[in-house]
Amino acid sequence: MKSSKQDKVEGNLHKAKGKIKEVVGNAIGNSDLEADGKNEKLAGKVQKKIGEIKKIVGK
């Protein structure tokens, strides 16, 4: 199982990658890339929250 710190770091990386994909997709008019970016950004937020919950719970 991943540590809470690792989940938070990976979550932040996914959020950043997702934001980049979203912006690039929007700039070049690629709606698939933009949607993929939004999904990855959301997944990053969820992963970061999981890390925060693990820290509170003590895992």
The residue extents of the domains of the chain are: 4-57
Q: Residue 11's pLDDT is what? A: 95
What pLDDT shows up at residue 59? Answer: 56
pTM of the entire predicted model: 0.84
pLDDT at res. 58 = 82
User: Could you say which residues of the chain have pLDDT below 70?
Assistant: 59
CA distance 51 to 37: 21
pLDDT at residue 1, rounded to an integer: 72
Round to whole Å and give the CA distance between 25 and 51.
29
Residues contacting 17, CB < 8 A, separation 6+: 37, 40, 44
Residue 41's pLDDT is 97
